[in-house]
Amino acid sequence: MKGIKHMERKEFIRSLAFFALTPMAYLASCTEEKKGKTGAATQTYTCPMHPQVVQDKQGTCPVCGMDLVPFNRNETAAYLILDDSQRALANITTLSAGTGALQTFKQLNGRLIVNPEKTEIISSRVAGRIEHLYVRQTGEKISKGQPLYQIYSENLLVLQQEYLLALTQAAAFPGDNTFARLLQSAVQKLKLYGQSASQIQQLQRAKKTNPYITFTAPANGTVAELPVTEGEYVAEGGQVMRLEGYQSLWVEADLYPAEAGSIREGQQLKVVIPGWENQPQLMTVAFTNPALQANSQLTQIRGAIPNPNLQWQPGLQANIFLPLISTDQTRSLPVGAVIRDGKGAHIWIERSKGRFEPQVVKTGTEDFDRVEITEGLADGDQVVVTGAYLLYSEYILKKGKNPVE
């Protein structure tokens, strides 16, 4: 009886211990699970263009709408390592920094206009009726020697009859100087009416009058104005059409009188047409307007530039760059080597082979191709001059922050 009671007592103690330890085990299990969830690495995402956007799930950038990309926010090294293949793929090239000359420029606003030296006014040498127009609309391209129009002239008919009469008389009296002079005078009148030597010879052979004159283009060009129509009568000297040549165009630039003092005739200025920045042209200043434009404080300079392949039309905007200051000892870099954003400006320097570090700089004056570096650059630094923006983007993707932070 006593043994049975002893066994029941041991069973009771075992059950009590089990129920006492069960909550502790459950609590420890929950704690370990929670610790596991807390200690697990959380994947973060950022925008390649806006590194300030960081979140722990995929999505799109609220600023630009680009897809967010994953990055390791624990990566703290402030440099990038590129092997030879990556360097070649990104077209990374460097340049040793040093001092040199830098010239600053002021941009002037201008425009392209027709070069009047390439303009031809086609006027009628005789009074008569436009019998036929070989060109019927503006904008047509014309080649030198191409027929433009045919005119019927009663005066020409009279002159041809006069020539044939003088020709007969000169042949009947070969030794008479009077008839020889009359023949010469008749030939000269025909030439003044636009008859060529071949046309006069043809008239001499055929001995038949032709009151129609066909006029040809004196030069290459484009029909800019056509004020007449077929069947219309024109007076002697009346305009028939205007041809404009676009092989060369004038550039007019507006500037203030104080700026005009730094420009001289014969000086060469750089001209850039928006949209064709890779085709800058040199303009030689041919004229400076001594008077101000009406109702303004601006004057003008003018010069000519070539028009390769006739790709530019009168009326296009033109930017003219006026040189201002030339500095001999200045540290400068190509414009593409400097990355600018809301945080400031920085460049990329190759500290050792394949190791590229961002360097914050301060910039000064600029010209078309180069920018002055006033702080942050030392002589001999190997600066990345092509591919700098790719390094900037790669840095943001890998580090998740701006290089200048």
Q: Note whether 95 and 185 are same-domain residues.
A: no
CATH label of the domain that carries residue 111: 2.40.30.170
**Domain identity same for 53 and 98:** no
pLDDT at 318: 93
- Residue with structure tokens 């920045």? 277
Our count of domains for the chain comes to 5
Residue 405 maps to a domain: no
In a domain, 350, yes or no: yes
Q: Are 111 and 251 part of one and the same domain?
A: yes
pLDDT of residue 40: 47
Q: Is residue 345 part of a domain?
A: yes
Q: Is residue 4 part of a domain?
A: yes
Distance CA 292, CA 362 (A): 40
Tell me which residue of 81, 46, 80 sits closest to 66, measured CA to CA. 46
What is the span of the domain harbouring residue 189? 123-243
The Cα 400–Cα 404 span in angstroms is 12
Distance between CA atoms of 295 and 379, rounded to whole angstroms?
52
d(CA 242, CA 226): 7
* Residue 250 sits in the same domain as residue 221: no
- Of 100, 102, 103, the closest CA to residue 322 belongs to 103
Residue 237 shares a structural domain with residue 333: no
Q: DSSP for 300-324?
A: EEEEEEE-GGG---TT-EEEEEEEE
Q: Which amino acid is at 403?
A: P
Q: Is residue 164 part of a domain?
A: yes
Task: Answer yes or no: do 111 and 128 share one domain.
Answer: no
Instruction: Write out the two tokens for 288.
Output: 């400076």
For residue 404, tell me if it sits in a domain: no
Please tell me whether residues 109 and 250 are part of one structural domain. yes
Give 336-365 pLDDT, tens digit per residue.
Answer: 889 988 778 899 999 988 889 999 998 887
Domain boundary among 208, 243, 278: 243
The residue type of 383 is: V
d(CA 111, CA 259) in angstroms, rounded, equals: 18
Check: CB of residue 251 under 8 Å from CB of residue 318: yes
Residue 369 forms part of a structural domain: yes
Question: Which of 309, 325, 341 is a domain's end point?
Answer: 325
Residues 127 and 205 in one domain: yes
Residue 258 and residue 112 share a domain? yes
Contact 193, 177 (CB under 8 A): no
Residue 42 exposed, middle or buried by CB count within 10 Å (0-12, 13-18, 19+): exposed
**Burial grade of 253 (CB within 10 A; 0-12, 13-18, 19 or more):** buried
**pLDDT for res 16:** 38
CA distance 187 to 183: 6
Residues 111 and 254 in one domain: yes
Let me know whether 231 and 149 are in one domain. Answer: yes
| Cβ(353)–Cβ(306) below 8 Å | no
Vertex 342 angle, CA 340 and 344, to 5°: 50
Query: Would you give per-residue pLDDT tens digits along the chain (405 residues)?
Result: 444 445 455 454 454 344 443 444 343 444 444 444 444 456 777 776 676 677 888 889 888 888 877 766 555 667 888 888 888 888 899 988 877 666 667 788 899 999 988 888 988 878 889 999 999 888 898 888 899 999 888 888 888 999 999 988 888 888 888 888 999 999 998 888 778 888 888 888 888 888 888 888 888 888 999 999 998 999 888 899 999 989 899 999 888 887 777 788 888 888 999 999 889 999 999 888 888 877 778 888 899 999 988 899 999 999 988 776 656 677 888 888 899 887 788 999 999 888 899 999 988 877 667 788 888 888 889 999 998 888 888 887 777 677 777
Give, as one character, the DSSP assignment of residue 2: H
Backbone angles phi, psi at 281, to 5 degrees: -125, 155
Look at residues 291, 309, 325 and tell me which one is the last residue of a structural domain: 325
**Is 372 found in the same domain as 336?**
yes
Residue 195 forms part of a structural domain: yes
Find out whether 95 and 347 touch, Cβ atoms under 8 Å: no
Q: Are 215 and 131 in contact (CB under 8 A)?
A: no
